[in-house]
A and B are shown apart, each in its own frame.
Chain A
Amino acid sequence: MIELKHISKVFPTAEGELHALTDVTLTIGDGDVYGIVGMSGAGKSTLVRCINLLERPTSGQVLIDGADLCAMGQKELIAQRRSISMIFQQFNLLMQRTCLRNICFPMEIAKVKKADAEKRARELLDVVGLPDKADAYPAQLSGGQKQRVAIARALASDPKILLCDEATSALDPKTTRDILRLIKDINKRLGITVVVITHEMAVVEEICTHVAILDHGRVMETGTVEEVFSNPQTEAGRRLVYPDGVHIAQLPAAKVIRIAFNGGSSYEPLIASLAIDCGVKVNILGADTRNVNGQAFGTMLLGLPEDPPEAAKAVAYLKNQPNITMEEVRDYHG
Chain B
Amino acid sequence: MDKFFADFSEMLANPKYFNEFAFGIWETLYSTVIATAVAYLLGLVLGVLLIMGERGGIRPLPGPLMKVLNFVINIVRSVPFLILMLCVLPLSMVLLGTKIGTPASIPPLIIAAAPFIARLVETSLRELDKGVLEAAQAMGCTTWQIVSKVMVPECLPSLISSFTTAFITILGYGAMAGAIGGGGLGKIAINYGYNRYNYAVMLVAVVLIVILVQIFQSIGSRLAARLDKRLASGGRRAFKKQIQRDKQIPGAM
Pairing of A with B: yes
A86 within 8 A of B: yes
Chain A contact patch, size range: 20 to 34
| A139–B149 touching, CB < 8 Å | no
Within 8 A of A (CB), among B212-253: 227-232, 234-235, 238-239, 241-242, 245
In the bound complex, how far is the Cα of B227 from the Cα of A79, in angstroms?
33
**Closest residue of chain A to B143, judged by CB?**
A74
- Nearest chain A CB to B80 CB, angstrom units: 38
Q: Assuming A81-B140, A96-B153, A139-B229, is B239 touching A88 (CB within 8 A)?
A: no
Of the candidates A79, A90, A94, A136, which one forms a contact with B140 in the assembled complex, judged by CB atoms under 8 Å apart? A79
Which of chain B's residues have a CB closer than 8 A to the CB of A93? 132
B150 within 8 A of A: yes
| B239–A52 touching, CB < 8 Å | no
- Nearest chain A CB to B107 CB, angstrom units: 34
Chain A, residues 14-33, CB within 8 Å of chain B (1/0): the string is 00000000000000000000
A135 within 8 A of B: yes
In the bound complex, how far is the Cα of B145 from the Cα of A106, in angstroms?
11
| A86–B140 touching, CB < 8 Å | no
| B229–A109 touching, CB < 8 Å | no
Of the candidates A78, A80, A136, A163, which one forms a contact with B238 in the assembled complex, judged by CB atoms under 8 Å apart? A136
Chain A, residues 77-101, CB within 8 Å of chain B (1/0): the string is 0111110111010101111110000
Q: Assuming A95-B154, A137-B229, is B131 touching A88 (CB within 8 A)?
A: yes
| A135–B132 touching, CB < 8 Å | no
| B138–A136 touching, CB < 8 Å | no
**Closest residue of chain B to A77, judged by CB?**
B140
Which of chain B's residues have a CB closer than 8 A to the CB of A110? 140
Q: Is the interface of B mostly helix, strand, loop or mixed?
A: helix
Chain B contact patch, size range: 20 to 34
| A137–B131 touching, CB < 8 Å | no
A140 within 8 A of B: yes
In the bound complex, how far is the Cα of B150 from the Cα of A92, in angstroms?
11
| B132–A82 touching, CB < 8 Å | no
Q: Assuming A92-B129, A137-B238, A139-B230, is B138 touching A109 (CB within 8 A)?
A: no
In the bound complex, how far is the Cα of B231 from the Cα of A105, in angstroms?
22
Within 8 A of B (CB), among A190-230: none
B156 within 8 A of A: yes
Which of chain B's residues have a CB closer than 8 A to the CB of A136? 238-239, 242
A157 within 8 A of B: yes
Q: Assuming A79-B140, A137-B235, is B229 touching A90 (CB within 8 A)?
A: no
Which of chain B's residues have a CB closer than 8 A to the CB of A249? none
A71 within 8 A of B: no
A108 within 8 A of B: yes
| B140–A95 touching, CB < 8 Å | no
Q: Count chain A CB atoms within 10 A of each CB in B132, B135, B228 and give the residue with the most.
A: B135
| A94–B137 touching, CB < 8 Å | no
| B230–A81 touching, CB < 8 Å | no
Q: Assuming A90-B129, A137-B235, A140-B238, is B135 touching A109 (CB within 8 A)?
A: no
A-B contacts, 16 listed (Cβ < 8 Å): A78-B142, A81-B138, A85-B139, A94-B132, A96-B154, A96-B228, A96-B230, A106-B139, A108-B149, A109-B139, A109-B140, A109-B145, A136-B242, A140-B235, A140-B238, A157-B140
* Known A86-B135, A92-B134, A93-B132; 5 more pairs at CB < 8 Å: A80-B140, A81-B138, A94-B150, A135-B241, A136-B239
